[in-house]
Amino acid sequence: MIDRLFHGNPSMRLLPLAFALFATTTFAADTPTTIPAAALENAVQLRERGLADTLAWDITEGLTTEIGPRLAGSPADAASVEWMVAKFKALGFDKVWTEPVTYPKWVRRSESAALVAPFAQPLYVTALGNSAGTPAGGLTAEVVRFESLDALEAADAATLKGRIVYVANPRMRALVTGEDYGKGSRVRTRGPSLASQKGAAAFLLRSVGSDNNRTPHTGVTTFAEGVQAIPAAALSNPDADLLEAAFKRGKPVSVRLALDCGTEGTYTGANVIAEITGHGKGKDYVLTGGHLDSWDLGTGAIDDASGVAITTAAAHLVGQLPKRPKRSIRVVAFANEEAGLFGGKAYAETHRKDIAHTILGAESDAGADRIVKLTATVKPSARGAIDAIAKALEPLGVAYDAAAPGSGGSDLSAIHAVGMAGLSLHQDTSRYFEWHHTANDTLDKVDPEQLRQNVAVYAVALYLAAEAEGDFGSKPGAFAKELGAH
Ligand SMILES: [Zn+2]
């Protein structure tokens, strides 16, 4: 047909049409990925069982009660790895194993701060991960305030020598999408390094959180290659307000900061991996999970015991079906997400050679409140299968945005970057950033009913992906264009 068009009418005006037809023909050769009708029927059952689940609560309660804070590299980190291995085995997963993950070990011993001029008042602060300690007894210095990271970038280094830099990032709004988090965490991750490069003695910022409690939010910061680590801490929101009010007096503002923390060599922890083995002969699997580590201030209930629990309970439910899905479902409880995605990066490095077998990935790492939206990054011919999964999730209140990308989640970002197709199940984060990375991240913030909705959503999504006829486009270097776009 294309030949006939070319020879029958040599007009150049028809060339674009000819190419369009060519493209359509090539596209049609890629058989659309579909979800079998029988699988969609089973999904109805899974949805109901998910809504009656008690396992996710038991895991969240167990990890937060029996282990508690799980700072990467701490004795509790090792205990949580043992705990998780035992849990996966007790639940009857077909395969359970660990893979080593090595990273710098950061420790926190104590922290305090006070406003010393123009008034004397205590300040509630917490050190950021990778922060250096202050000299014993603390350091007292004048604080230089910046409206933004850009303003700090433009500052003359001579004005910062020996001073404490404070960046007045705005207080996060409590939004379902959590969209303010990126702006705040940028100040947290880049600010201290920039301040150090300009000779500052220490760095302070307003906590990246939407609450009004005196519970500061920790989180990682990163010092660029060759840049000396300096003491860096977050003020609670009310304490940042207090500092702002002090600045409004127009007099020099000084703060005393005492942090006993720092990086002490390296540590080798582990990703804990478990699999429900599919009945198909191939090595194909759907990847899910959460991160096992947490910050040390709270008990890491919403960040991220609940993510590990939701995905483990969902995979376990699929394993309870009378017949295994075609493909395997693999759950990873990732090591040290908090200090820089170390578990996710190690997983990607080890498994990049299997990328075509990692057919789709979806991780839970935004708390335990209900899933409100689904997005995906898949090949065009798999879009119909995602549409079918979205339709199966509609009764659970999950909206579908077919235009937005879905990377799969924080720990999966590294493996997504080497070519894994991603499915993102977005949770309502309007409460999450009240407690995220604070002493308030505790079990009472987990709502059992919303937790069950998460289990139902993951069980349906993982199962349908494992039963799909055809793949989602995972292969080396896939989605490079989409990744470049955002
Ligand atoms: Zn997390």
- CATH number, domain of 353, equals 3.40.630.10
Which pairing describes strands 121-123 and 202-206: parallel, antiparallel, or unpaired?
Answer: unpaired
81 and 126 share one domain: no
In a domain, 13, yes or no: no
Which of residues 210, 237, 264 is at a domain's end? Answer: 264
Task: Among 229, 264, 299, give the residue marking a domain's end.
Answer: 264
Note the pLDDT of residue 51: 98
Task: Report the first-to-last Cα separation within the chain, whole angstroms.
Answer: 40
* Alpha carbon distance 329, 346 (integer Å): 19
Three-state DSSP state, 79? helix
pLDDT of res. 22:
44
Residue 17 located in a structural domain: no
402 and 313 in a common domain: yes
**Pair of tokens at residue 136:** 């014993």
- Give the residue from 264, 288, 307 where a domain finishes: 264
The CB density around residue 486, as the number of other CB atoms within 10 Å, is: 8
Task: State in Å: Cα 170 to ligand 1 middle.
Answer: 22
* 82 lies in the same domain as 136: no
Q: Which residues of 199-219 are buried (b: 16+ CB within 10 A; e: fewer)?
A: bbbbbbbbbbbbbebbbbbbb
Count how many domains the chain has: 2
Tokens describing residue 277: 């083995």
* Residue 464 belongs to a domain: yes
- Centre of ligand 1 from the C-alpha of residue 440, in Å: 14
Within a domain: 11: no
Ligand 1: distance of its center to the CA of 366 in Å? Answer: 6
What does the alpha-carbon distance between residue 95 and residue 258 come to, in Å, rounded to a whole number?
Answer: 47
Which of 75, 57, 73 lies closest to 65, judged by CA? Answer: 57
Place of tokens 């990308």: 405
Residues 72 and 109 in one domain: no
Q: How far is the CA of 465 from the centre of ligand 1 (A)?
A: 24
Range of the domain at 428: 37-94+277-485
If asked whether residues 48 and 173 sit together in one domain, one would say no
Q: In this structure, are residues 317 and 54 in contact, taking their beta carbons and an 8 Å threshold?
A: no
CATH number reported for the structural domain that contains residue 237 in this entry: 3.50.30.30
Instruction: Tell me which residues of the chain have a pLDDT lower than 50.
Output: 1-28, 486
Q: How far is Cα 468 from Cα 378, in angstroms, rounded to an integer?
A: 13
Alpha-carbon distance 11 to 150, whole Å? Answer: 56
In a domain, 57, yes or no: yes
Closest CA to 306 of 253, 374, 225, 369: 369
CA of 368 to the centre of ligand 1 (A): 11
Structure tokens at 386: 């995602």
Together in a domain, 194 and 293: no
The backbone torsions φ and ψ at residue 163, rounded to the nearest 5 degrees and listed phi first, read -100, 170
Per-residue burial over 97-120, b = 16 or more CB atoms within 10 Å of its CB, e = otherwise: ebbebebbbbebeebbbbbbeeee
- On whether both 367 and 225 belong to a single domain, the answer is no
Q: Are residues 63 and 170 in the same domain?
A: no
Residue 9 within any structural domain of the chain: no
pLDDT for res 29: 58
CA of 446 to the centre of ligand 1 (A): 14
Flag whether 271 is in a domain: no
Tokens of 310: 């939701």
Cα 366 from Cα 380, distance rounded (Å) = 27
Q: Are 370 and 427 in contact (CB under 8 A)?
A: yes
Domain membership flag for residue 249: yes
> What residues act catalytically?
337
Q: Are residues 159 and 204 in the same domain?
A: yes
Q: Which two tokens stand for residue 57?
A: 């609560």
Residues 328 and 348 both lie in one domain: yes
